[in-house]
Each structure stands twice: as C-alpha cells, then as structure tokens.
Amino acid sequence: MTEPAQSAPATDASLLDAVREQAHAGLPATIADLSRLVRIPSVSWPAFDQSQVQRSAEAVVELATSTGLFDDVRIVRSAESGGADDADSATGEPSLGQPAVLATRGARDGRPTVMLYAHHDVQPQGDDALWETPPFEPTLRGERLYGRGAADDKAGVVTHIAALRVLRAVLGDDPDLGIVLFVEGEEEAGSRSFATFLREQHDALAADVIIVADSDNWSTEVPAITATLRGNVTFKLTVSTLEHASHSGMFGGAAPDAMIPMARLLASFHAPDGQPAVEGLRSYDGPVPERSTDQLAAEAAFLPGVQPVGTGPVLGRMWYQPSITVTGMDIPSVANASNTLLPTVSARVSVRVAPGQSAREAFDAIDRHVRSNVPFGAHVTISDLDTGDGFLVDTRGWAVQEARTAMREGWGAEPVEQGIGGSIPFVSDLAQQFPDAQILITGVEDPDTRAHSPNESLHLGVLHRGITAEAILLVRLALRDQG
C-alpha cells in the first residue's frame, strides 16, 4: 500500500493567472452583492417577518441568474415544514418550508456535477445595544465588513456566485461541468424540512461533489477543510425513589431521596480525571494541531487554578473524543428548599459523540450505563431524546485532493484539516441522501467572525482568497475527466 497523494497536480499556470485576475477584478461587485443581501433582515425564526426571507430568496435568484450558467433557477419550498408547531394558526393548514433557491445545469462529456451549498437566512440580531454598527447596515471598518449575515452565511452565498462568474470568464459560458446551486432558507431555524426537501428534490440535487460553504478557517491567512464533526445525543434523565416527599428529619438516613442516586449516576459518567467513562462510547483516532492547556484556559475563560478535564491532545478531546455535560436540572431552587426528601429529580444530559460513531449506538451505550449504574434500585426514565449524527470526511477521496490543491493555490498556504466539536446536522442528512457524493466543508469565516453574536463580520481578505480557491476548484472540476 502506498500512501494516498497529498494533493492533485498543480493547475496550469496560465489558467491560474486568469482565475486570480478575474477573482480580483470581481471583488468590488461581490462586496456590493453581499451588502445588498445583508440589508435584507432574512431571519427565518417563526416570530420574525417571513416576507424578508422571501425577499432574500428573490435577491439570490437574481444573483444566480446573473452568472449566466444555469438552465433553470427557481425558488422551491418543501411541501412539509418539518415542524409540528409550524402550522398556520389561522387556517390550521400545515405551512410550507422556507424558500430555498435551486439553480441547475446538466453535466456533459463525462464531467462531474458539483453542488454548491450555502444558506441565505440569518440569526436574529439579538441585543441592538451590543452592536457597534447597525446590524442590517453593512459597514466596512478596516479589513472587515460588519453586519448580521455578512459572514454566516451570505458570504457563503456570494462566494459561490463570484466563483461561478470567474469560471464563466475563464472557461466560457458553456462549460461541461454540471452545477447545482442550493441556497437554503432555514438553516438558522434548524433546517427542519431539510431531509424532506432532499428527498423531494433528490434528482435535481444529485451531485458527485458537494461544497458546503458554511464553516470557518484556521486563521485569516490559513484555510481549513473541515474533516470531522461530532454528533450529539441529548435527553432528559429522571430519577425517582419515593411516591411522595417526606420529612427529611423523620425519614432521612433510611429512606433514599432521589438527588443522591442522581448525583452518583451523573458522577459515574466520568473517571476522576474527567474522561468520559461510559463503556461503548468510542473515540476517533486522528492527528491534531498542537494547542496548549494555557491557550485553552484563556479561550474558554477558566477561573484561576481550574484544571482541564480529559486526557490526550487538547484539540483531540474537543474534536475526536466524546464528551458528556449536564446542561440543566429540575430540582427545587435553593430559595424554595424545604426539609424534605426529594421524591423525583430530572437532568438534561448533552452528549457529544465522536465522529465515526452513530448517535444511536452512542445513545444505546449511555442507556445501558444508566440502567446498570443507578444505585438503591431507584427508578430511571429517559425521555425527550434528540440525536444527530456526526460526520467523517474520507480525506483520501479525489475531491479532497483537488480542494487541497485549489486552496494552496488560492490562499498561498497549506490548508489545515480541522475537526469541529459541534454538530452540523444537515451535513449528515446530505451524506445520508447522497451516500456516493464527496462532501467538502469549507467557508469564509475566521476565528474573529463572531457568527450568531453581535458585531458579526467578514474579513475581506478571506473572502478574496476563498473565492479564488473555490474558482480554481471549479475550473479543475470542469476540466476533470471522470472516465
């Protein structure tokens, strides 16, 4: 066995020059397109003005049409909203999913088809007082463009548009590459009709390579390919010992309250060093860049003297190992505490699952652990279960090698393969619907982007390099012989 090549052969020098020139020349128009999108407050949460999401979809249709590359451009809504609470309260009719933009052109002559994914909806602006500039008025300060959605993910939308314009300028208006542009309108509301939408539009969306532009980079100078995502399992854990509360002075010492078995059960989830101790929860084994525990302590704002938990490299703990956290409990408040033995208590448990292990398998392991570790014969129930699978890119695939070359040429720096400790559930939906597609998770965010927070911003140098790299990748795919 030989090691897989680290990257594909370099791009032809004159093509590369042409791409770089066009990417640079198109930048002012792209920033203007982005500014126009940011001015539309397309918050997809049900409590917000949904006509703005429609307006922003219409603006994306205009952008897609302007590339001159698509046979068909339209707004599509899933027939199902995916959320039971989403029915129209006036008519009782189930409402439709949010407007997505779908633009397609067919592949020819054995060339691959690429799907370009981004989303045009945004998070609410949150507390206006915390914004230094108006959230829906794009504002340039230094090298950064500020505004809600300026990065997440309207920058992803315009990166695809700009890269397509470069492709057309370099290879002409009739390339053999198949292209699907899919710009979702409800990612920030949980992509609730996403799986249904993928099934309904399966044939229109089918692609060999999927480029998701909704993630971040290692720094403003170094690109990243997001290669792993953790999955998640959350549930409500209830422990009960008594049919009703009793006086703790009368019965304490002989009758078990529910809190002590709950505490012991929760404590059993970890070894003394903080490493998860649930048999059957797996870890992924992969290399990680160096990060010191001091840097971790600074970034996560540890109090003085507090030690990190877990074992192994710091980033490996956050990217490749499972973690178990208790994020809430239903118990009497301290102010309302009376001298009684608590008959029942509940906790919300949040588990991050290592990439490569299914959320269902991880849940089964935790379920077994809970049932065999609860003391005093206390009754346990698990309810409100929510699971999302993680994701593991096969980085030996040819599309990753192509992307690595394109990023090196577009950024002038070797890309870092990174994991994400959080979950992007729609990525596993994509992988499930299109098991043969190679999925590349990229984006134009950087560590200072503050997506979802006040003062969200996009670094314009990252935008420029991201567009250049994606355009190089599209040109390479357009010239790639599948046979």
In the bound state with Zn ion, the residue whose beta carbon lies nearer, of 317 and 459, is: 459
Q: Which of 152, 409, 429, 445 binds Zn ion (CB under 5 A)?
A: 152
In the bound state with Zn ion, the residue whose beta carbon lies nearer, of 184 and 402, is: 184
Within 10 angstroms of residue 2's Cβ, the number of other Cβ atoms is 4
CB of 424 to Zn ion, least distance (A): 8
Cα gap 324→313, rounded to integer Å: 18
How many residues interact with Zn ion (rule CB under 5 A)? 3
Q: Which of 121, 153, 389, 470 binds Zn ion (CB under 5 A)?
A: 153
Strands 323-330 and 344-353: antiparallel
In the bound state with Zn ion, the residue whose beta carbon lies nearer, of 22 and 123, is: 123
In the bound state with Zn ion, the residue whose beta carbon lies nearer, of 208 and 445, is: 445
Q: Which stretch binds Zn ion (CB under 5 A): 44-52, 99-107, 146-154, 312-320?
A: 146-154
CB of 119 to Zn ion, least distance (A): 6
Cα gap 11→465, rounded to integer Å: 16
Within 10 angstroms of residue 140's Cβ, the number of other Cβ atoms is 16
In the bound state with Zn ion, the residue whose beta carbon lies nearer, of 113 and 457, is: 457
CB of 13 to Zn ion, least distance (A): 35
Give residue 394's Cα distance to chain centre: 18
Strands 457-459 and 144-146: antiparallel
Q: CA 48 → CA 43, 45, 189, 194, 391, distances in Å?
A: 6, 6, 11, 20, 31
Q: Which stretch binds Zn ion (CB under 5 A): 22-30, 55-63, 147-155, 204-212?
A: 147-155
Of residues 33, 80, 121, 257, which has the active-site annotation? 121
CB of 214 to Zn ion, least distance (A): 4
Of residues 152, 187, 188, 257, which has the active-site annotation? 187
Please say if 187 is a catalytic residue: yes
CB of 346 to Zn ion, least distance (A): 32
Q: CA 181 → CA 23, 60, 206, distances in Å?
A: 19, 10, 11
Contact 284, 256 (CB under 8 A): no
Q: CA 194 → CA 93, 102, 201, 438, distances in Å?
A: 20, 13, 10, 19
Within 10 angstroms of residue 310's Cβ, the number of other Cβ atoms is 18
In the bound state with Zn ion, the residue whose beta carbon lies nearer, of 370 and 420, is: 420
Q: x/- string (CB under 5 A) for Zn ion, residues 94-133?
A: ----------------------------------------
Q: Which stretch binds Zn ion (CB under 5 A): 104-112, 148-156, 285-293, 352-360?
A: 148-156
CB of 121 to Zn ion, least distance (A): 9
Q: Which stretch binds Zn ion (CB under 5 A): 150-158, 242-250, 407-415, 465-473?
A: 150-158
Q: Is 88 left (phi over 0), alpha (psi -120 to 50) or beta?
A: beta
Locus of tokens 């006040």: 454
Please identify the residue of the shown chain whose CB is closest to the bound Zn ion.
153
CB of 152 to Zn ion, least distance (A): 4
First-residue to last-residue Cα distance in the chain: 23
Q: Does 445 bind Zn ion (CB under 5 A)?
A: no
Which residues, 6+ apart, have CB-to-CB distance to 339 below 8 Å?
247, 248, 249
In the bound state with Zn ion, the residue whose beta carbon lies nearer, of 214 and 446, is: 214
Local structure of 145: helix, strand or coil? strand
| Footprint on residues 205-244 left by Zn ion (CB under 5 A) | 214
List active site positions: 121, 187
- Chain residues binding Zn ion by CB under 5 A are 152-153, 214
